[in-house]
Structure 1
Amino acid sequence: MTKNIKANGLNHLAISTNNMKEQIEFYTDVLGFRLVALYWMHGVEGCWHGFLEMNDSSQVAFVFNPANKDAKVEYGVTNPGHTGGPSAPGTMQHLAFNVDTLDDLLNMRDRIRSRGYNVMGPMDHGMCHSIYFQGPEDTCLEVATFGNADYPIGPKDWIDPEVQELAGISDEELAKFTNPIEFEGQGGTIPNPGYNPDSYNPDRPVQLLQGMFAMPDEQFAMIPMEKRPPSMMSDEDRAAKHAN
């Protein structure tokens, strides 16, 4: 039997921050997430990571980079300002968290309001119910549930032909998008295709990308990286780390 290889959930979403403590306080107290990691970001000088756990496999991460202080919020560019506002392609428009039922959603609204924050909703979208509120550093937030939906989400009901046309999606392409091709893995034996200027590439110098993408997987895996948790690092380890 062929095993269909695909991503099966959200592991974490990383959000830039200038105030790690404020984000941690908000997400733990207001939303009930649990802080599970706070450490130097591996391989990125001067940066720290904070991970807040929603469940065993899903987290929200915050990244503090010293250069963030020079990047200012600009509505319509870096941040939309509200859940219906514009922002630059590739930026986060809003972040929606899940609960299982409408009762859970109403109780979540109670939790948020009890902390002194305004929440609008629930709004009934037919496929889900949602509440909306604003978080630290102008993040637009939502909590939603597919439970109690009048019309459960699915392509049979929720593909609008008018919007399909506006998106430039043909019927043939739609059939492919709603029934993705299954893929059987090759055990990790497929190599990188190499640098392609017309592909999606990180914002790094071309020469560096050419070398990175040509690097054998075995060589990349040998790049020194601190794997131990902070609890296992001695003062001498830390001094050596910051000396390098």
Structure 2
Amino acid sequence: MLVQKIHHVAYRCKDAKETVEWYEKHLGMKFVLAIAENEVPSTKAPDPYMHVFLDAGNGNVLAFFELPGQPPMGRDANTPKWVQHLALKVDSMDTLLATKAKLEAAGIEVLGPTNHTIFKSIYFFDPNGHRLELAADTATPEMLHKLDSVKREMLEEWSRTRRAPQHAAWMHDGSHA
């Protein structure tokens, strides 16, 4: 395979300082790097920006661009808010629940935990309007094997019908218990 890992994932932010401080305070991410330019290196277009990088654990980096010369941030109006999100893994359900309590105590609205059978998640928004998900794995090896064995069939059926295949209905009908 050509790709070794994701180097970083970048999003736009309204205010770089506010964003860094929010991620440090609420998710414990370390601020690792800032790059600022008055022109875009790849295109040479004059467009000042601040590019900040945060440690998302295990070599993963979450980055943001503040673009003061561009129109205000928007979002894809044709895509539901629940679709575009960044999911971050936590080590346990205890951590997930403790983080939920911490976020709520800070006045942040949190949805969940939502049971996805193979993981449980909470959902909330950062100060830029980006939806975040924190997920704690709950799958057994058997569950993962079962999903792995039907993934291609599911994709093919979806591709033909654009209807949800039922190969993994056990995840939500209670029969996995």
Q: TM exceeds 0.5?
A: yes
Q: Within 5 Å, which residues of 2 pair with 1:77-226?
A: 77=78, 80=80, 82-84=81-83, 93-146=84-137, 148-149=138-139, 151-152=143-144, 154-156=147-149, 159=151, 161=153, 163-168=155-160
Does residue 73 of the first structure (1) align with residue 65 of the second (2)?
A: no
TM-score by length of 2: 0.72
Q: CA deviation at 1:144?
A: 0.6
Secondary structure of the 2:91 match is coil
Q: CA deviation at 1:113?
A: 1.7
**Residues 26 and 168 of structure 1, relative CA distance in 2, 3 Å threshold:** farther
**Residues 95 and 110 of structure 1, relative CA distance in 2, 3 Å threshold:** same
Deviation digits for residues 53-73 of structure 1 (CA, Å, limit 9, x no counterpart): 1225111101122333x1442
Distance 1:104 1:168 in 2: 41
**Residues 54 and 114 of structure 1, relative CA distance in 2, 3 Å threshold:** same
Distance 2:25 2:3 in 1: 30
Distance 1:39 1:135 in 2: 21
Secondary structure of the 1:137 match is coil
Identity %: 26
Secondary structure of the 2:144 match is coil
How many residues get paired? 152
Q: CA deviation at 1:75?
A: 5.2
Structure (1/2) with the larger strand percentage: 2
Distance 2:87 2:67 in 1: 24
- For structure 1, list consecutive stretches of 5 or more residues without a partner in the other structure: 85-92, 170-244
TM-score by length of 1: 0.54
CA root-mean-square deviation:
2.7
Distance 1:72 1:17 in 2: 8
Q: CA deviation at 1:128?
A: 1.1
Distance 1:98 1:9 in 2: 16
Does residue 58 of the first structure (1) align with residue 67 of the second (2)?
A: no
Deviation digits for residues 129-150 of structure 1 (CA, Å, limit 9, x no counterpart): 111111122111100122x225
Structure 2 residue aligned with 1:13: 9
**Residues 134 and 57 of structure 1, relative CA distance in 2, 3 Å threshold:** same
Distance 2:124 2:34 in 1: 26
Deviation digits for residues 164-205 of structure 1 (CA, Å, limit 9, x no counterpart): 323359xxxxxxxxxxxxxxxxxxxxxxxxxxxxxxxxxxxx
Does residue 29 of the first structure (1) align with residue 44 of the second (2)?
A: no
**Residues 74 and 58 of structure 1, relative CA distance in 2, 3 Å threshold:** closer
